[in-house]
A and B are shown apart, each in its own frame.
Chain A
């Protein structure tokens, strides 16, 4: 609990590690694949045999640049590779090829959508590319096993400035980054597969009267889920304030930076015993790799591959398609879903009707399956056809839901499906006229109420429409039925 008179501001920066979605590893041709038996995607290069040399994966550099440029970073013309030295069994060479002082991307920002429709700008300090380490597996009491399938997988480390001031902002930033790298096709960003890992830096600025106190900056290592990230940050904000209340010396000037681990079970951060000496990574330029020279042509071609970003697309949907914020937001969670909408519109369908279909039955199925709307499998052609049929009154809105369900189930042309299911609206005027005449003849009372133009007119008309639907087994095209009533009962019947 914050004491009266204290003004506490949390400052949180986030390092996000993102595994890039390349076919092969960063410096060799082994497959970049998760989940296969240990050490099946290894070669002399990625297991650090004597005499091997790394060869840079250009695709990984491009994906990293793409993310950087999408974050509005500068992509310097000259960047290089450095060796970061530390000993660990999952690091076969005992150095990691990384980027030290000249990273691929610097000085950008990400506009993070917040729950209230506002955005928060988080500055990006740098984003550099490196190779991932393998995994130590502690399943056996007597020994540790090492799986090097992950060793050498391209890893993008995105470092933000400490611009976030709450758990909500941290969570929104992390999710926006996930959406962005997926959007760009740079990473699957699947948390279960360890594609994204977080290391937040947290400290507090406490204003008490005229004085400003800063708590030590705590880095929490290796958080593998959004839940862990949120829990750890929330815990740290609370803990640092409590500790400062207890101990006036718990301040940045005295203690500097500290590392803490995260106990997933208990949801708390835990003090990590300080190393006897500070880690000295002994960075130096890797003599096995040429520096990466990024010329304008290359940079421009990568920039051109970015396309429209999520927030810009959301804005466009609200303006050009007249969608609500909620609708536009729902359709811009991933690129393929929006692409589906855009393609259907290009085929001549109405955006609003497409949206209703996508956010109706399709979204419901996506939700059941735990996939994105686009992944449900409805094609742009199906979507456009359906929307047009609704618009022309060839099917009713209710029928469209059933046709979507069939389309998802068995696929095929919606028009054919509608016919097969007998859901195509009857537009034959002879049949319609017969039903309308029957309704008029059988319900003089309702007809009188419609013609009287009184209070009951609307309800009476609805009743007559319902009779026609009933006579037609729900297949009468409503717009045409309305036309017929108007013609027979006069313009009041609308």
Chain B
């Protein structure tokens, strides 16, 4: 058994027991990153020196008999839109290419207090805007299952790093599906907790009312472990929930009794790829065979329409893009070339010219598109037609979920309409790219927790994900339900060919 085979929890246990040194683990993974990341490009930066230093500190703690944290010596990747006070925080943008944050995110603090060893910052779509990680100023990340395909996005770097076994686990952020969709594309577990469950302090804001940090891991148990560590109230984030964090690991292996699995009728239509639909029906039957009851539920305002040309549309997508882009246009206003970040090297005519040039040079096309659309929808005369209406739709979407959860404990849904697509396949048509989020965004709009886990593999050996959605603060039950499937189906710790011993792409 290789060190790589150990899950985060197993590795932490081995380090605590003295069977594996933290430095040994760090060296091993740094070596794996060096060997594999040239192809995958999951990382924007790797920090070997600091990682080894931190690992040595863990070993020293153990040697001195000091208590170790639950992630002692576990190498972890952190999405590059979560600020660290070491290295850079770039958001995969030219705008922040040279940016050193003077402070660190709350989640970074919590990881390190738990003994985790942060090895580097993972790639993303610029400012988390995208569904394929192709919108990175530093080049795309590739899917370890097929290097010609995208890893999904925007947390594509974190998902690919975990899938390629370059780290046992990583942090991502999810505004409209940015943890769950790449997790599905890369065959790993991705968890977006309830809005406010994890502090956003230090997460570079995209859509503030939707953003949430969560883990990407090889199995549900590791996702539960990481969530337990990063979750909890933070006085520095006024939107973080002041509700106690349950022990998500308690009874994790114990199947839930009398579980009611809801299947939203609106999600199982011709819009969904047939093979994915079949895999999800199989997953539902697996639950049924373990005593769960299947119920059909309705989410009318999240329904997906297909027109005569086969073009998909959805209220939720429209609502999401109005809310997210409006917030983004305001959140990204601070990147102006005045205080930090990219400033145009041209001699500006005046301050307006400085702003315009710096932003035009610093932001990529997708970011510019979203800032412009968001600026438009917030403009005088359009506010009520767009933003205000979107807030009303958002309320209706939330109400649908509330009603559905009267009948079901957990909803079983697709994550994305297809499996991982090819690089370049959707870059020409932003709208098609936006529809990647069609099954995930309602969860963000309603502030709910959503768990993405592998359901199986396609005929072409690409991972197919499934999504479990629960009511607000139902993390514990959701993770148990996910674990229940993992154990019943045996679909977990999927490992692409390139990540196997001696495996080469």
Chain A positions within 8 Å of B, measured between CB atoms, are 44, 47-56, 83, 85, 87, 89, 92-95, 146, 280, 282-284, 287-290
Report the contact-size class of chain B (Cβ under 8 Å from the partner).
35 or more
Alpha-carbon gap, A456 to B355, bound state (A): 92
Q: Flag if A93 contacts B239 (CB, 8 Å).
A: no
Q: Which of B42-50, B155-163, B195-203 contacts its partner? A: B195-203
Chain A residue with Cβ nearest B234: A53
Residues A284 and B378 in contact in the complex (CB < 8 Å), given A50-B334, A51-B204 = yes
A282: which of B237, B238, B239, B330 is its contact (CB, 8 Å)?
B330
Chain B positions within 8 Å of A, measured between CB atoms, are 81-83, 89, 91, 96, 99, 101-103, 105, 200-205, 207-209, 235-239, 326-327, 329-330, 333-336, 338-340, 351-352, 355, 375, 378-380, 383, 387
Q: How many A-B residue pairs have CB under 8 A?
A: 99
Chain B residue with Cβ nearest A87: B355
Q: Which residues of B contact A146 (CB under 8 A)?
A: 338-339
Name the distance in Å between B325's Cβ and chain A's nearest Cβ: 12
Q: Flag if A289 contacts B83 (CB, 8 Å).
A: no
Q: Flag if B91 contacts A50 (CB, 8 Å).
A: yes
Q: Which residues of B contact A56 (CB under 8 A)?
A: 238
Alpha-carbon gap, A89 to B337, bound state (A): 10
Q: Which residues of B contact A83 (CB under 8 A)?
A: 330
Alpha-carbon gap, A290 to B237, bound state (A): 10
Residues A290 and B379 in contact in the complex (CB < 8 Å), given A44-B102, A48-B339, A50-B89 = no
Alpha-carbon gap, A56 to B239, bound state (A): 11
Name the distance in Å between B403's Cβ and chain A's nearest Cβ: 25
A290: which of B200, B239, B327 is its contact (CB, 8 Å)?
B239
Q: Flag if A284 contacts B336 (CB, 8 Å).
A: no
Alpha-carbon gap, A87 to B352, bound state (A): 9
Alpha-carbon gap, A469 to B13, bound state (A): 100
Chain A residue with Cβ nearest B340: A49
Q: Flag if B333 contacts A85 (CB, 8 Å).
A: yes
Alpha-carbon gap, A52 to B351, bound state (A): 25
Q: Flag if A87 contacts B208 (CB, 8 Å).
A: no
Alpha-carbon gap, A109 to B339, bound state (A): 42
Q: Flag if B326 contacts A284 (CB, 8 Å).
A: yes
Among B83, B236, B338, B383, which residue has the most Cβ atoms of chain A within 10 A? Answer: B338
Q: Which residues of B contact A87 (CB under 8 A)?
A: 333, 336, 351-352, 355
Q: Which residues of A contact B326 (CB under 8 A)?
A: 284
Alpha-carbon gap, A28 to B463, bound state (A): 45
A-B pairs with beta carbons under 8 Å apart, 24 shown: A44-B101, A44-B103, A48-B334, A49-B83, A50-B204, A51-B83, A51-B201, A51-B202, A51-B204, A51-B205, A52-B103, A53-B237, A53-B239, A87-B333, A87-B351, A92-B334, A280-B379, A283-B383, A284-B330, A287-B207, A287-B209, A287-B239, A287-B327, A288-B208
Residues A89 and B239 in contact in the complex (CB < 8 Å), given A50-B91, A51-B205 = no
B238: which of A49, A92, A95, A290 is its contact (CB, 8 Å)?
A290
Q: Which residues of A contact B99 (CB under 8 A)?
A: 50
Name the distance in Å between A352's Cβ and chain B's nearest Cβ: 54
Alpha-carbon gap, A44 to B83, bound state (A): 12
Alpha-carbon gap, A288 to B375, bound state (A): 18
Q: Flag if A93 contacts B333 (CB, 8 Å).
A: yes
Name the distance in Å between A383's Cβ and chain B's nearest Cβ: 46
Among B83, B330, B378, which residue has the most Cβ atoms of chain A within 10 A? Answer: B330
Q: Which residues of A contact B236 (CB under 8 A)?
A: 53, 55
Chain B residue with Cβ nearest A136: B351
Alpha-carbon gap, A127 to B102, bound state (A): 36
Q: Which residues of B contact A92 (CB under 8 A)?
A: 334, 339
Name the distance in Å between A27's Cβ and chain B's nearest Cβ: 9
Chain B residue with Cβ nearest A44: B103
Alpha-carbon gap, A44 to B336, bound state (A): 16
A50: which of B96, B208, B387 is its contact (CB, 8 Å)?
B96
Q: Flag if B200 contacts A53 (CB, 8 Å).
A: yes
Q: Which residues of A contact B335 (CB under 8 A)?
A: 50
Chain A residue with Cβ nearest B383: A284
Q: Which residues of A contact B333 (CB under 8 A)?
A: 85, 87, 93-95
Name the distance in Å between B84's Cβ and chain A's nearest Cβ: 10
Alpha-carbon gap, A85 to B329, bound state (A): 10
Chain B residue with Cβ nearest A48: B334
Q: Which residues of B contact A284 (CB under 8 A)?
A: 326, 330, 378, 383, 387
Chain A residue with Cβ nearest B387: A284
